[in-house]
Chain A
Amino acid sequence: MGFLVIFIQKVIGQGIGILYGALGEILTEKSGNLNLGIPGMMYMGGIAGLIGAFLYENNTAQPNGLVGVIISFLCAFLCAALGGLIYSILTITLRANQNVTGLALTTFGVGFGNFFGGSLSKLAGGVGQISVAVTGAAFKTPVPGLSKLGVIGQAFFSYGFLTYLAIILAILLSFFLNKTRKGLNLRAVGESPSTADAAGIHVTAYRYLATCIGGGLSGLGGLYFVMEYSGGTWTNNGFGDRGWLAIALVIFALWKPVNAIWGSLLFGGLYILYLYIPGLSRSTQEIFKALPYVVTIVVLIITSLRKEREHQPPASLGRAYFREER
């Protein structure tokens, strides 16, 4: 039983960060923007949250965990949204190519995170190891009461609030996209911007907002990794390739936020599966780590083979919309 609990905890620990990234990317892609800058924005969110909490804890005699949480949460969201804004300005207003811009944003964002992560202590005047113990602990506070319920509590209620927020956000996003007028408009923008435009929907505004908010959401994935997974410390490139895994998850979930919830758990499980298969040598373990990507490729192929309409990417994904060139 204890073994299973630890497995569930590890799977959730791996999955939630990816889930945030995927939710942000689903929102972005629904507007027709294929933003490959997600990995960059996740790094930006992670480091901004850490810097925010660090500056607060360093300048306050008795830092309060809740204040630290709010500050780092806002910093992470805003900094990553800023990445989305850069992307929006370049691709929507200045009509630059989406793939190229997204990759440039990833270069920038990953560099940004690693640069400040690696240089923060030096820039702050040589304070040594960066750690935000109080805020980190606040992020890891489990659900009061319920987490004490034995095995069930251990497996399902022993996580910080970001874990539950991710699941709530996924359900909200699904509701927004499928049940609200604004969500319908957003999907229309992603499917056929010229039709949406003719119907009086402000295509540019929808794309800007979806991309910036989507960026902010994915930044929370970085924050989750830094605060809950690593307990408030930064390791360069510690975040690894999870940002690309988030983009893979979007495909795997067939652009549906609720699918992304269990998809993220499956990806998290596949990511650590090698630990649980007996008799693997260190080198064959590495082959197993490619599983999430292989599964995504298979899903990609199957969806393109079956061509079911409700399982396809947004029709105008990756294409810019110029009203003058209809």
Chain B
Amino acid sequence: MSKGREPVFQMTKREAIEPWKAWLIRLIAVALSLIVCAGVIIALTGLNPVEVYKGIFDGAVGTKRRAWMTIRDTLVLLCIAVGITPAFKMRFWNIGAEGQILIGGVTSAAMMIYLGNTLPPVILFPLMLAGSALAAMVWAIIPAFFKAYWNTNETLFTLMMNYVAMQVVTFGIIFWENPKGSNSVGTINSATKGGWLPKLFGLEYGWNLVIVLALTVAMFIYLRYSKQGYEIAVVGESGNTARYAGINVKKVILRTMAISGAVCGIAGFIIVSGASHTISTSTAGGRGFTAIIVSWMSKFNTFAMILVSFFLVFMQKGAGQIASQFNLNENAADVITGIILFFILGCEFFIDYKVRIRSAKQAGSEE
């Protein structure tokens, strides 16, 4: 019989790792990804690396307006990430955030169009928020129901729901088309600003800030300190354990997806009413997917998500700026994001596992 080849790398699972070490590894991964990104940008534009990073910084926070755009988009990404986190913690792969945002957004847009100029703001905004949350909640409960009762694969189900939502939105766009034949809704109520979230404390995105941060804190507390949050964690670890402990798994799945969908719906409301003031098929713009990565990389810690989403949006905005300076197209930002994500995803391995290179001598002495 032939003897199996000794592996060169020996991997052992770490029992625990000091937090500073874990963060050092992540920092190294980010630094490496930035070096690779700079390499790509230099190859395409011929800029020198210092200019590249100056350009990124300038594009993301160089002027007051750009800084606010970065903050605005960070808040939206954060809100979505906070929304999908309870589902993920339960190991329910809700990759339907994209669709839930769209359904929330289209509900907000409908209310802006039909009620925006008639209802007083005190009633209108709570109604829009609740309506968007409710619509997206229903959208999210459909796959959860089938998962809970017949164990239908939720990854694929929620994924398909995204495109059904996309078509619902397209239907709405053509239905409300303005002007006719433009294939877009245009800015809703651009004259009256009916249904536009007003300024708060003199800040244009003040309400966005307050709502999203409140959700972030509330979700942190809910997941960490409430009984329901504990049930989510148990179901996520093992459905059988949960059943044995007397947890009603079906109920937890339905309830958690309802919460998850509702928060994603609120994200749709914030995008439509608090930022873009229109609805289009790119209202979610892939952020439902990016948020999954944000939530995963933050290990379900909602405060870590603030940092991660800021970093990603920062890089996207910066890369977008460089691309437009050089007349390249804005999709450069996606390429950059992709590269950074690859590195960060890969680095988690070195946090969970210790890798040792086996020397020939060592391999021999162990036999």
Contacts and interface: CB of A to CB of B under 8 A. Distances in A.
Given A103-B289, A293-B164, A304-B151, A108 B335 contact: yes
Contacts of A297: 157, 160-161, 164
Contact of A103 (B292, B333, B349, B352): B292
Contacts of A101: 345
Contacts of B353: 95
A293 B163 contact: yes
Interface string A292-326: 01101100110011000000010000100000110
Contacts of A290: 163-164, 166-168
Contacts of B332: 111, 115, 119
A109 interface: yes
Given A112-B335, A241-B166, A103 B95 contact: yes
Interface residues of B, number: 54
B174 interface: yes
Task: Label chain B's interface by main secondary structure.
Answer: helix
A209 interface: no
B367 to A, nearest CB: 20
A247 interface: yes
B346 A94 contact: yes
Contact of A107 (B151, B296, B323, B334): B334
B222 interface: no
A301 B293 contact: no
A232 B350 CA distance: 44
Interface stretch (A70-78, A139-147, A158-166, A279-287): A279-287
Given A107-B338, A247-B156, A305 B327 contact: no
B93 interface: yes
A114 interface: yes
B242 interface: no
A50 interface: no
Given A96-B349, A293-B163, A313-B153, A123 B170 contact: no
A235 interface: no
Interface in B127-183: 146, 150-153, 155-157, 159-164, 166-168, 170-171, 174-175
A305 B150 contact: yes
A96 B153 contact: no
Nearest to B286: A107
Interface residues of A, number: 54
A226 to B, nearest CB: 16
A86 interface: yes
A275 B170 CA distance: 16
Of B156, B166, B323, most A-chain CB atoms within 10 Å: B156
B341 A104 contact: yes
B96 to A, nearest CB: 11
A313 B13 CA distance: 30
B51 to A, nearest CB: 18
A115 B334 contact: yes
Interface in B279-295: 286, 289-290, 292-293
A97 B11 CA distance: 18
Contacts of A313: 153
Contacts of A248: 156, 160
B273 interface: no
Interface in A234-286: 236, 241, 244, 247-248, 251, 282-284, 286
B329 interface: yes
Interface string B12-36: 1100000000000000000000000
A10 interface: no
Given A104-B345, A109-B338, A304 B150 contact: yes
B278 interface: no
A110 B285 CA distance: 12
Interface string B79-102: 000000000000001010000000
Interface string A100-136: 1101111111111011001100110000000000000
A94 B156 contact: no
B345 A94 contact: yes
Contacts of B292: 99-100, 103
A92 B333 CA distance: 27
Nearest to A103: B289
A119 to B, nearest CB: 4
- A-B residue pairs, 4 tightest by C-beta: A111-B334, A108-B338, A118-B329, A290-B167
12 contacts: A93-B349, A94-B346, A95-B349, A108-B338, A108-B339, A114-B329, A115-B334, A290-B166, A296-B160, A297-B164, A300-B156, A304-B152
Interface of B: 11-13, 44, 93, 95, 146, 150-153, 155-157, 159-164, 166-168, 170-171, 174-175, 286, 289-290, 292-293, 296, 323, 326-329, 331-335, 337-339, 341-342, 345-346, 348-349, 352-353
Interface of A: 34, 36, 86, 89-90, 93-97, 99-101, 103-112, 114-115, 118-119, 122-123, 236, 241, 244, 247-248, 251, 282-284, 286-287, 289-290, 293-294, 296-297, 300-301, 304-305, 313, 318, 324-325
